[in-house]
Structure 1
Amino acid sequence: MLAFTFFWNAILPLYEVITLRTLGKNREKYGKVRLWGSVGFIGAVALVGGLLELVPIQNLPWLLLPVFAGIAVSAFLVPSEQGERKPPAPKGSLKAIVSHPAVVTFFLMNFLLQVSHGAYYTFFSIHLAQYGYGKLSIGLLWSLGVFAEIALFLVMHRLTRNFTVRQIAIGALTLTMIRWILIAEMTDVLAILLFAQLLHAASYGALHAISVQYIQGFFGQHHHGQGQALYSGLTFGAGGALGAWLSGFLVDGFSTSAAFWGGAAAMAIAIVITWRGLRPPPVHGEV
């Protein structure tokens, strides 16, 4: 797993770049491509959740091996990029982009977003089990969140036409904060929990979709790959790790509910930062 995630996290940003370059002027259709990863996630968690009701958890590595093999095979099916070699980037431009106030705000927003997800990715299943939910139910609840994400990806191009990046970001962050509060306090009410899982469309789907296009807008043709790598490393990597670590302290000291309250607090800070500093990217991707 260490070796897999080391290389996977390095290559994932490049997949985003290849996808957006392939889409070209149709980059608003990114969500319709990205949703297939979510479809695979739904199938995996639902299937494995059901299988683990029948077989011991010790068999999980054997269940994962075919998936890893499929990933390896599919990597060879990705075509090489075609086209002329791009001209060299102007010196110092990457530093200017990264230090731009709007870009700093963007990375802080996404860093705090992933900090808030630390409790979710680390303790959500444990939290549900404490309230009596079975393995299959937990798998289906995970799937519901990703199903909402897929639905959002299908209509994301319409949202980006009718709302600004700042409006979408603030709205999604607010819904994410509400989601963590509902999970923290009302897990035993199934209808509320189902609604909270549907909010995954905002806490991941909407913010990831606008973030990928935001990076393309600010980092442009020359530094798109580096921008995606920074986005992946600083947010999903550093933010997710810090969130998981901090939520562990909250769980040990208090409860799993406290960890989700910590995520809500991170979202409150992110909303203020985004409100004050997030600005739309340049039209042609140059600062």
Structure 2
Amino acid sequence: MAALPYWRLSGFYLFYFALLGATAPFLALYFHHLGFSSARIGELVAIPMLMRCVAPNLWGWLGDYTGQRLLIVRLGALCTLLSFALIFVSQSYAWLALVMALHAFFWHAVLPQFEVITFAHLREQPERYSQVRLWGSIGFILTVVILGRLFEWLSLDIYPVALIVVMAGIVLCSLWVPNAQPSSQGRKLLSGGFLEQLCSPGVLAFYGCVALMQMSHGPYYTFLTLHLENLGYSRGVIGLLWALGVVAEVLMFLAMRRILLKFSVRRVLMFSFMLAALRWLLLGSFAEHVGVLLLAQLLHAATFGSFHASAMAFVQRSFGPGQQGQGQALYATLAGIGGAAGALYAGYSWNTLGPTITFSMASVAALAAAVIIAARLQEDRPHT
């Protein structure tokens, strides 16, 4: 068996999620810097998430049909860079909406296909996924800390340039990654087509809960930075707080191999959803207290770390080798639908209902997902 190209895979994740670290905390702040209202900010942030509802399924089908997943990753990374560079042409609302839609169409082609390539390299060691994926979290941490300090020293006008640099890193890393194809050897071959596997017990319920989890993150990814600025925190401190959450995520990824060997995916998902419900209540009502804010950020270990790793394990075991691209794409699509809904409701409710109610709505969404998982997902045995 070929050796795992650990650093090549990890390097790609580092730059890919460095881009998320540049957008999640700072994109809304940049649009605010340009003078847009909270409603317009919510709409602009929602556009890439809406594209996530369309693009991954097209690219996922194409990847499964042609098998050219690495080519899709490389072209997607390059077109993301080229289309985002159009932001330098104009900064009107309509033009920014076009740039958000166009670059997201290609950006969301990349990760689902790369996840399939990663699991193909892992072969019979899928529990090692978190050890590779944690470098994405490290990339996120480095970006939020560096950019948080940079925006304290310099104007937010340099923000698009910072994103272009990170996107160039994604392109270069995609050229370094070796190809691999999913194999049916050494694992149970699932019979039936994609739709038949999708209708297996608990699978549709799982995907619905993916949407609810991402919807619950809407206020967090759209307005947390502005929320903390209004409470008196500096941009440098806010960058460190974002980084703290991802440090907790990295530690969780390091532990996930042992956790998934000991506990079922169903139990890990339920645990993640319940802690997400608690986290949003803390951020909405008690973020002015530093100790509570630190605890809330540490809970990112559950709301993203354990949730994402266990969700990837669920998708990987629920579909056959020829369906993995579509399974990953549907995960990205439902996450996009939920994320867009979260960004939109947060944008419209932030000024009218306030942060406390907005985050409370997020808490209800996460709690609903916990109930659905408890009721609909079958208890599975941990990996052995």
Q: TM-score, normalised by structure 2?
A: 0.70
Q: Contact 1:39–1:150 (CA<8 Å) still a contact in 2?
A: yes
Which of the residues 154, 161, 165 maps onto 2:261? 161
- Residue identity over aligned pairs, in percent, reads 39
Match of 2:274 in 1: 174
Match of 1:45 in 2: 144
1:205 equivalent to 2:309? Answer: no
Q: Contact 1:146–1:200 (CA<8 Å) still a contact in 2?
A: yes
Match of 2:156 in 1: 57
1:87-133 C-alpha deviation (Å, 9 max, x unpaired):
xx999521111122300111011110000001110011111111001
1:116 equivalent to 2:248? Answer: no
1: CA distance, partners of 2:215 / 2:190: 34
Report deviation, 1:9: 0.7
1:50 counterpart letter in structure 2? R
Match of 1:227 in 2: 327
Greater CA drift, 42-51 or 255-264: 255-264
Match of 1:196 in 2: 296
1:272 equivalent to 2:371? Answer: yes
Q: Contact 2:212–2:338 (CA<8 Å) still a contact in 1?
A: yes
1:140 counterpart letter in structure 2? L
Q: Contact 1:214–1:281 (CA<8 Å) still a contact in 2?
A: no
Which of the residues 170, 174, 177 maps onto 1:71? 170
Q: Contact 1:176–1:267 (CA<8 Å) still a contact in 2?
A: yes
The verdict on how the C-alpha distance between 1:82 and 1:138 changes in structure 2, with shifts beyond 3 A counting, is same
Question: Once superposed, which parts of structure 1, at least 4 consecutive aligned residues long, lie more than 4 Å away?
Answer: 82-86, 89-92, 280-284
Q: Contact 1:218–1:282 (CA<8 Å) still a contact in 2?
A: no
2:309 counterpart letter in structure 1? A
1:117-158 C-alpha deviation (Å, 9 max, x unpaired):
011100111111110011001100000000000000001011
Which of the residues 203, 218, 227 maps onto 2:318? 218
2:227 counterpart letter in structure 1? H
Report deviation, 1:282: 9.6
Report deviation, 1:273: 0.7
1: CA distance, partners of 2:259 / 2:339: 27
1:35 equivalent to 2:131? Answer: no
Match of 2:125 in 1: 26
2: CA distance, partners of 1:18 / 1:95: 22
Match of 2:362 in 1: 263
The number of residue pairs the alignment matches comes to 281
Structure 1 residue ranges without an equivalent (≥5): none
Q: Contact 2:222–2:343 (CA<8 Å) still a contact in 1?
A: yes
Report the 3-state secondary structure (helix = DSSP H, G, I; strand = E; otherwise coil) of the residue aligned with 1:132: coil
Greater CA drift, 247-256 or 262-271: 247-256
1:31 counterpart letter in structure 2? S
Q: Contact 1:106–1:274 (CA<8 Å) still a contact in 2?
A: yes
Q: Contact 1:53–1:135 (CA<8 Å) still a contact in 2?
A: yes
Which of the residues 4, 15, 18 maps onto 2:114? 15
Greater CA drift, 76-85 or 250-259: 76-85
Match of 1:144 in 2: 244
Which of the residues 200, 203, 207 maps onto 1:107? 207
1:247 counterpart letter in structure 2? A
1: CA distance, partners of 2:375 / 2:190: 30
Report the 3-state secondary structure (helix = DSSP H, G, I; strand = E; otherwise coil) of the residue aligned with 2:178: coil
Match of 2:340 in 1: 241
Q: Contact 2:212–2:369 (CA<8 Å) still a contact in 1?
A: yes
Report the 3-state secondary structure (helix = DSSP H, G, I; strand = E; otherwise coil) of the residue aligned with 2:331: helix
1:125 equivalent to 2:225? Answer: yes
1: CA distance, partners of 2:177 / 2:110: 12
Q: TM-score, normalised by structure 1?
A: 0.93
1:150 counterpart letter in structure 2? V
1: CA distance, partners of 2:165 / 2:103: 14
Structure 2 residue ranges without an equivalent (≥5): 1-83, 85-99
1:30-69 C-alpha deviation (Å, 9 max, x unpaired):
1010000110110001000000001011111122221111
